Amino acid sequence: MVKPTELTDAVAHMRADTRVLGAAVTMPHTVAISRLLDGLGPEAQVVRAVDTISHRAGALIGWNTDRSAFTLALEEAGFQAKGRTALVLGAGGSARASVDALREAADKIWVVSRDLDEARALCRDLDISSGGPSPLGSLSLLVRKVELIVNATPVGNDGQAVPFPIEWLLPSHFVFDLIYQPPITPLVRGARDRGAHAINGLSMLLFQGLAAFEIWTGQPAPEAEMRAALERAVLGRLTS
């Protein structure tokens, strides 16, 4: 695990090592690392966050596969964002990708973060005018008025915490918790217990991996094999 203070050195070492094809980037580095690379792919330029790095001819190029993976995961789960209202929790790289994926179809998107200035910056960068940044104090009201809730924070990866009281959820909600470890977070379990449709971030992780494979190798990704490997890994975690 690379600490924030070590990020610049880690990027420099990657750039100097020609054996490195690339790297995957996770929170909390997805936004900060975009400023340390030699170039950005189209989606990364818009979202201003990077989750995949490729090493080409001595240059490090940052890509954002979160956006397309988020869209594909929602589609696979049968949720159509067109005309819907959404609440995105968080303002980091995953939140930025989620908002960007939703903004062309969703009717309104609210963004709530512990850092209101980051939520404002996200909405400003992505031109979100319908909905927009909201303080934590508005969370109770917003949860009850939206149809889609996206947890793009790490809250819940300890298997215990929830980003808000489960009692606020309704059967009409669709909950997308981007966390994939543990596979069943307290938010996902609580939402399902209350009759809501809820998914975790595993399918999004798969689609990210498929895109990263193609970026690194230039070859089509073996989707069936990668999906099966992910399912085996999840089953192993659940039964261990």
**CATH number for position 56:** 3.40.50.10860
In this structure, are 59 and 156 located in the same domain? no
pTM, two decimals, is 0.92
In this structure, are 180 and 89 located in the same domain? yes
In this structure, are 198 and 79 located in the same domain? yes
**Parent domain of 118:** 67-202
pLDDT tens series, the chain, 240 aa: 778 888 999 899 888 888 888 999 988 889 889 999 999 999 999 999 999 999 988 899 999 999 999 999 999 999 999 999 999 999 999 999 999 999 989 999 999 999 999 999 999 999 998 999 999 999 999 999 999 999 999 999 999 999 999 999 999 999 999 999 999 999 999 999 999 999 999 999 999 999 999 999 999 999 999 999 988 887 666 555
Q: What is the dihedral of CA 59, 50, 185, 150, to 10 degrees?
A: -160
User: Does residue 165 belong to any structural domain of this protein?
Assistant: yes
User: Does residue 208 belong to any structural domain of this protein?
Assistant: no
In this structure, are 86 and 153 located in the same domain? yes
Count of domains forming the chain: 2
In this structure, are 23 and 142 located in the same domain? no
User: Does residue 57 belong to any structural domain of this protein?
Assistant: yes
User: Does residue 223 belong to any structural domain of this protein?
Assistant: no
In this structure, are 88 and 166 located in the same domain? yes
* Nearest one of 109, 108, 164, 155 to 136, comparing CA atoms: 164
In this structure, are 78 and 132 located in the same domain? yes
Q: What is the dihedral of CA 101, 49, 177, 72, to 10 degrees?
A: 40
In this structure, are 94 and 198 located in the same domain? yes
